[in-house]
Structure 1
Amino acid sequence: MPDPAISIMIVDDHHIVRYGLKQSLSSQENFRIVAEAGTGKEAIELMAVHSPDVILMDVSMPDLNGIEATRIILKSHPQTRIIALSMHAEKQYVLSMLKSGAKGYLLKNNLFEELVTAIHTVMEGNVFLSAQITEFIVQTAITPGSDDEAESQAIASLTSREREILQLVAEGKNNAEISKLLYISKKTVDNHKRHIMGKLDLHTIPALTKFAIKHGISSLDV
């Protein structure tokens, strides 16, 4: 009896990337593409309908990044395996994604060579990392003081909503734009921003933006 098909959702804000992934994976006998999403928010909405076995999640997306989308999805669907897709090999992106619960991290520069193996690996309950990422993880583990504990604790103190607003602030959106995107009042946005600044001890928008980029909450390429 053949193995049941593995259901997959592709999440990336670039249509050409989604198309390429879909074409590549559709040629595999036991893979079934059940959904595509162009944003983290859309991915969260589609989970209620499709509940895929595996999500291929772009890390850097506007409005709601893959890190936060992963965290939110796994709260309600802990059985889902999420594989991060990224152009970034820097530690802030890798560690943030893995801490959010991703079971794999693939670099887009050699994505198709590793993708099929990665999907089967995470479905078996294991973790799959690109070779370059594996090397980085080892170096991080053996290098004293390689992770800034104080900043990690500061990030952990932020609520999901605060991380979402921090990303939008770093992307240059003002209170009115954030209010419209999140369906909350401008006063509520302002209150969240004050809480974020207090928790991070950063009191200007440029400082918040720099912090968000450094820790993979936002990116220069979105």
Structure 2
Amino acid sequence: MQKTTVLLADDHTVLRQGLRALLAAEPDMEVVGEADNGRQAVQLVQKFLPDVVVMDIAMPLLNGLEATRQITREVPSTRVIMLSSYSDDEYVEQLTDAGAIGYLLKQTAATDLLKAIREAKQGNAYFSPAISRRMLDHYRQAFMSGQPIRKAGESLTSRECEVLQLIAEGKTNKQIAAELCISIKTVEKHRQQVMNRLNIHDIAGLTRYAIAKGLIESKPALGPA
């Protein structure tokens, strides 16, 4: 039997271990690698060419949205399933636009993941049942009312999204330039374009935007010692 090869991408080690244990019990599945950030996920996909990637959205250095865009562009034979705590329609729309073939809520991943992986291997989309119902209702209402199904959103390029995430993570222009292998002048140009496109002109605002979009996770406030 030819096994379905799977790459796990999540910055939470305990979650990756749990997913690996779940998949290890299936005779038709094999975990070929693990990544704890989106950039590493892209590199490992290029190395191992897995059938399916199980990807978190909020990861350091490169979030799951941009990692998905790069994977589906560079290794189109690999299918991407997103794992997320967010069930908002906007997240689902952004990720399916980026090329994800499945979208699962972390709360129900243990129940749905195996079926999602098998469907993805066959090229079929799979969504958590709650999301599927809401998507169907949304499309039905849009069709009945004659409204456009897709919402017009902010149109950042892939590179601008990478720069936005690194800004929100507190990286300096010099650090961003080193991470993306571009010049500091190019970073400054991207930073200004991001601010202009979003009409947000301070770092705190960009950070709030990135958290709201699920590109990075908000850090819990520290209480008194």
Fold agreement, TM-score > 0.5: yes
Q: 1:100 aligns with which of 95, 98, 101?
A: 98
Counterpart AA for 1:32 = E
Q: 1:207 corresponds to which residue?
A: 205
Q: How does 1:99-138 map to 2 (within 5 A)?
A: 99-138=97-136
8 Å contact from structure 1 (residues 170, 209) kept in 2? yes
Identity of aligned residues (%): 38
Q: 2:36 corresponds to which residue?
A: 38
Q: 1:181 corresponds to which residue?
A: 179
SS in 2 for 1:33: strand
Any gaps of 5 or more consecutive residues in structure 2?
Answer: 221-225
Q: Distance in 2 between matches of 1:110 and 1:183?
A: 38
Q: Distance in 2 between matches of 1:116 and 1:218?
A: 27
8 Å contact from structure 1 (residues 54, 81) kept in 2? yes
Q: 2:159 corresponds to which residue?
A: 161
Counterpart AA for 2:23 = L
TM-score normalized by the length of structure 1: 0.88
Q: Distance in 2 between matches of 1:9 and 1:194?
A: 35
CA deviations on 1:192-222 (whole Å, 9 max, x unpaired) are 1112222333322233333333333334269
The CA RMSD measured in Å over matched residues stands at 2.1
Counterpart AA for 2:28 = N
Counterpart AA for 1:213 = I
Task: Measure how far apart 1:146 and its partner are.
Answer: 8.1
8 Å contact from structure 2 (residues 46, 75) kept in 1? no
8 Å contact from structure 2 (residues 42, 70) kept in 1? yes
CA deviations on 1:140-189 (whole Å, 9 max, x unpaired) are 3326588641xx2x32xx22211100111223333233233223333221
Aligned length, in residue pairs: 215
TM-score normalized by the length of structure 2: 0.87
Q: Which moved more, 1:42-51 or 1:194-203?
A: 194-203
